[in-house]
Structure 1
Amino acid sequence: MHTITSREHALFKQLIKLEKSARQRRSDCLTLLDGAHLIQAYRRAQGLPIKLIVSESGYQHPEIRSLVSEISKNAEVHAVMFSDGLFKQVSPVKTPTGIIALITIPTTVPNTVNDHQTFCLLLEAIQDPGNLGSILRSAAAAGVSDIYLSDGCADVWSPKTLRAAMGAHFALTLHEASDLVQVIQRFKNSNGKVIAATLRAPRHLYQVDLKGTIALVFGNEGAGLSQQILGVIDEQIAIPMQGNTESLNVAAAAAICFFEKMRQQYYGH
């Protein structure tokens, strides 16, 4: 395995740009997966990465050594070793795991809706990568098929979002830069119902029938949903809360709604 020790190496410069810049990731259609767990999740769902990058110390771990050996059997995948100092600079985490994969970002058409989508999610301007990744993780576990993200959302393929989602990206179809109004209209034309979670809705989550073809909509952590979106949805629902609690974290609220839909689907309203 070739070892890289210079900051002037083209691969090192490329990885630095991809780690730091959403624009670079979009331009190159590439991103970085940090850690053996994410790489294995990608491998099971999507296939082989383009390249593996390991640190000198990371390669001493049996799990990483075995993973590199197994994936590198395919001649199309190149594995390189970085000195620990260089690897720390390209790693998206403060405590490097010892292995990174370079992968292609899957491409999807932003506003595509079809009759096979029975449980979808629309996100307007979710700005925190941790929230976004947590939402994706819960969505995948609850059976969501497609997620539509408006402009203004955090970069769904950033290393931070990928880490928070723990492999959920590869179980979902993600439509970035979507026109949510257009998606809502198309979903309704396909006999789907579009329900938005808001703070002051006339009915709460446990009063609403969530069985059947449903799209759930969640808005920005501070501002909530825009009036444009609220003007085209079918219904607003609130999550009932005890005491003086004013609101929930958007990732927590989304998870509650996802699994209430799953409960109703399996056990009835």
Structure 2
Amino acid sequence: MKSITSRDNAFYKELKALATSSQARRKAGQSLLDGVHLCQSWLDLRGAPLHCVVSDGALGNPEVAAIVAECEAVHAPVTALPDALFGAVSQVENGVNIVFVVESPKPSRPAGLIESAVLLDGVQDPGNVGSILRSAAASGIKQVYCSPGTAFCWSPKVLRAAMGAHFVLDIFENVELAPLVREAKVPVLATSGYASEQLYSLDLRAPVAWVLGHEGQGVSNALLEIATHRVAVPHAGKVESLNVAACAAVCFFEQLRQQQRSGN
């Protein structure tokens, strides 16, 4: 295990940039995983990180010590920082001071939509994006396509909200969604609070692609026009619509319910 004590250390400056700058993360093709849960999930599902960084004060934590031991066993570099320096690397208040530097996965794009997938059309809130990823992974969906206006999936806030879902999904960013929808080999269902077709009237036993839109504007008219179905989630009361992440969860788990009931 190495130790860094200077704020002027080059690696420490790189860590701070990854922690605070989306541009730095995109340029480096790297992300920071913050906290025990994300780090352990990465080890379990993806293997060794590029680098493990801990604070001196966290080394006495049994969970942190176990992760450090796993990293050393697979020859991943481990570096300790004084607690005062680690604070600029982590964005989690009162968290357990451990982060992984990982290479942001770049899966190979499949040839069009041929299985269940999620298409995010300008969903801007990182918490919503992370929640949608988490629901997608939990319901068995494997692919997520994000339009250029969607929040960066490998930002710290999205990673925390998704709770490790990233590591079992194929996530494609900066994708023009319209050509994908036009050439889809599965039905494309665009959610809209103004649609006449109701979610619970649909047969969802076979694969479908879900289109979810911007928090205020919803799915763009261009995508609504070319979708196979425009679908509303019925709700009682005077609330105009569901939060996009809540809408996604209802849709995904209704699909899972129908698939499990039919034995698919």
Tell me the amino acid that sits aligned with residue 124 of structure 1.
D
Provide TM-score, normalisation by structure 2: 0.96
Deviations 1:191-245 (A, max 9, x none): x100011001011111111121200110000111111111211111111111111
Runs of 5+ consecutive residues of structure 2 not aligned to the other structure: none
Q: 1:243 pairs with 213, 237, 260, which one?
A: 237
Pairs within 5 Å for 1:1-269:
1-75=1-75, 77-109=76-108, 112-114=110-112, 117-187=114-184, 190=185, 192-268=186-262
Runs of 5+ consecutive residues of structure 1 not aligned to the other structure: none
Cα deviation for residue 109 of structure 1 reads 4.8
RMSD: 1.3
Tell me the amino acid that sits aligned with residue 163 of structure 2.
M
Task: Give the 4+ runs in structure 1 shifted more than 6 A.
Answer: none
Deviations 1:42-76 (A, max 9, x none): 1222111010000011111111112101211223x
Does the 8 Å contact 1:113/1:183 carry over to 2? Answer: no
Rounded to whole Å, the distance in 1 between the matches of 2:153 and 2:92 is 17
Does the 8 Å contact 1:113/1:186 carry over to 2? Answer: no
Rounded to whole Å, the distance in 2 between the matches of 1:213 and 1:62 is 43
Which segment is superposed worse, 228-237 or 249-258? 228-237
Cα deviation for residue 95 of structure 1 reads 2.1
Tell me the amino acid that sits aligned with residue 228 of structure 2.
D
Rounded to whole Å, the distance in 2 between the matches of 1:92 and 1:122 is 28
Rounded to whole Å, the distance in 1 between the matches of 2:223 and 2:51 is 41
Rounded to whole Å, the distance in 1 between the matches of 2:74 and 2:48 is 9
Does the 8 Å contact 2:107/2:170 carry over to 1? Answer: yes
Provide TM-score, normalisation by structure 1: 0.94
Does the 8 Å contact 2:129/2:153 carry over to 1? Answer: yes
Does the 8 Å contact 2:112/2:180 carry over to 1? Answer: no
Rounded to whole Å, the distance in 1 between the matches of 2:96 and 2:183 is 43
Rounded to whole Å, the distance in 2 between the matches of 1:195 and 1:242 is 22
Rounded to whole Å, the distance in 1 between the matches of 2:18 and 2:85 is 15
Deviations 1:131-163 (A, max 9, x none): 110100000010111000000111100111111
Cα deviation for residue 96 of structure 1 reads 3.2
Which segment is superposed worse, 117-126 or 168-177? 117-126
Tell me the amino acid that sits aligned with residue 253 of structure 2.
F
